[in-house]
C-alpha cells in the first residue's frame, strides 16, 4: 500500500526518510542529508524479526525487536518529536543500487509508504520521501506493549546487526544529535529502563528482575503512553 506525499522532487531523484538505524547508519550513496519530520506516524518497537534472520544461540532464544513507524489509530495523538528523522537524497544514477541495498536491509516485513517530509530548517518542502513502516496486516506486527516488558526484552535480545539494546541506545544518541527538540519520549523512556536493568544486572542475580518475554498488549497508544511514564 502506498500513500502519496507532495511532489516537489524532480522525477529522476529519490528521497528516503530514515527514523531508525538509517539515521546513524546511512545508505551507501547520498548527496544530501536533511533533519526534519513526517506527520501521522509513531516510532515504536512493534515488530519482532523473524527467526530465520538470527544467527547466534542468544539471538535464537531472544530474537530482537525491530523499530517501525506505525500509523496511530483511534484516540492516539502524536507528540512533537515522534516523527523526527532524516531525509537522504539519492542521486539518479545511484537509485537502483540503493534500492537493491534497502530491499535487503529492510527486508523484515516492512511496507513501503511515500510521505511528505518537512525539513527542520524550513528551507524547502514538503519533499516526497519513501519510508519503511510497519502495518498491522504484517504477521510480525505486535502493536502496543507494556514498556517494562519491552525494555526487558530489548535488554536480553540480539539480532543480525548485534545487541538490541545497542540499537536502542544508538537511536537515542542519534536523535539527540539531530536537534535539541528531536528527542523522542518513548525512546528516552525505554533507554532509561534498559539502563536501569543493566545496572541491576551488574549488581548480580539477586537484584535482577525475572525476564518476562510475554508481552501484554495494551489496547491503545494512549493507554500505552500512560504506562510509559518513568516510575
Ligand atoms: C529506518 O531506519 O528508517 C528503518 C528502521 C531501521 O532500519 O532501523
Residue 198, domain CATH: 3.10.490.10
58 dihedral zone (left: phi>0; alpha: psi -120 to 50; beta): alpha
> CB–CB of 210/129 below 8 Å?
no
Pocket-testing residue among 15, 16, 20, ligand 1, by greatest number of atoms within 8 A of Cβ = 20
Q: Is residue 5 part of a domain?
A: no
Q: Which grid cell is 23?
A: 539515521
Q: Is residue 3 part of a domain?
A: no
Q: Which residue has the cell 519510508?
A: 131
Distance 189 CA to ligand 1 centre (A): 19
Nearest-angstrom CA–CA distance, 39 and 34: 16
Which pLDDT belongs to residue 121?
82
> CB–CB of 46/140 below 8 Å?
no
Q: What is the DSSP string of 91-127?
A: -GGGHHHHHHHHHHHTTTT-EEEEEEEEETT-SS--E
Nearest-angstrom CA–CA distance, 90 and 95: 6
Which of 13, 106, 196, 225 is labelled catalytic?
Answer: 106
Q: Is residue 44 part of a domain?
A: yes
Model pTM score: 0.77
Q: Is residue 8 part of a domain?
A: no
In the residue annotation, 228 being an active-site residue is answered as no
> CB–CB of 213/145 below 8 Å?
no
Q: Is residue 193 part of a domain?
A: yes
- What values do phi and psi take at 125, rounded to 5? 105, 180
Which pLDDT belongs to residue 221?
43
Does ligand 1 have an atom closer than 6 angstroms to the CB of 22? yes
Nearest-angstrom CA–CA distance, 26 and 195: 26
Q: Is residue 7 part of a domain?
A: no
Indicate the number of domains in the chain.
1
Q: Which grid cell is 106?
A: 529492510
Q: Is residue 1 part of a domain?
A: no
b/e code 73-92 from CB counts within 10 Å (16+ = b): eeebeeeebbbbbbbbbbee
Minimal CA–CA distance to 135: which of 216, 46, 223? 46
Q: Is residue 192 part of a domain?
A: yes
> CB–CB of 165/154 below 8 Å?
yes
| Domain range enclosing 39 | 14-228
**pLDDT tens, residue order, the chain (231 aa):** 333 344 444 567 899 999 999 999 999 999 999 998 888 888 888 776 655 444 555 555 555 566 666 654 433 334 445 578 999 999 999 999 999 999 888 876 678 889 999 888 888 879 999 998 877 777 767 777 899 999 999 999 887 778 989 999 999 999 988 877 777 888 999 999 999 999 998 887 655 444 444 444 444 444 344 333 332
Does ligand 1 have an atom closer than 6 angstroms to the CB of 88? no
Helix, strand or coil for residue 47? Answer: strand
Distance 17 CA to ligand 1 centre (A): 9
Amino acid at each position: 500500500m502506498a500513500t502519496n506525499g507532495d511532489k516537489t522532487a524532480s522525477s529522476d531523484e529519490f528521497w528516503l526518510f530514515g527514523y531508525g538505524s538509517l539515521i546513524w547508519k546511512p545508505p551507501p550513496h547520498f548527496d544530501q542529508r536533511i533533519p526534519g519530520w513526517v506527520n501521522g506516524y509513531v516510532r515504536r518497537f512493534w515488530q519482532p524479526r523473524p527467526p530465520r534472520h538470527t544467527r547466534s544461540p542468544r539471538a535464537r532464544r531472544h530474537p530482537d525487536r525491530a523499530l517501525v513507524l506505525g500509523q496511530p489509530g483511534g484516540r492516539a495523538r502524536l507528540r512533537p518529536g515522534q516523527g523526527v528523522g532524516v531525509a537522504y537524497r539519492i542521486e539518479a544514477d545511484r537509485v537502483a543500487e540503493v534500492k537493491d541495498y534497502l530491499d535487503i536491509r529492510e527486508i523484515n516485513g516492512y511496507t513501503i509508504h511515500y510521505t511528505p517530509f518537512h525539513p527542520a530548517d524550513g528551507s524547502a518542502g514538503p519533499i516526497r520521501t519513501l519510508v519503511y513502516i510497519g502495518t498491522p496486516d504484517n504477521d510480525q506486527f505486535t502493536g502496543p506493549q507494556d514498556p517494562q516488558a519491552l525494555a526487558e526484552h530489548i535488554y536480553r535480545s540480539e539480532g543480525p546487526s548485534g545487541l538490541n539494546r545497542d540499537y536502542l541506545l544508538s537511536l537515542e544518541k542519534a536523535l539527540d544529535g539531530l536537534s535539541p527538540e528531536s528527542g523522542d519520549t518513548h525512546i528516552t523512556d525505554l533507554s532509561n529502563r534498559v539502563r536501569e536493568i543493566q545496572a541491576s544486572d551488574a549488581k548480580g542475580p539477586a537484584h535482577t528482575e525475572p525476564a518476562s518475554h510475554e508481552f501484554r498488549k495494551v489496547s491503545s497508544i494512549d493507554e500505552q503512553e500512560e504506562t510509559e511514564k518513568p516510575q
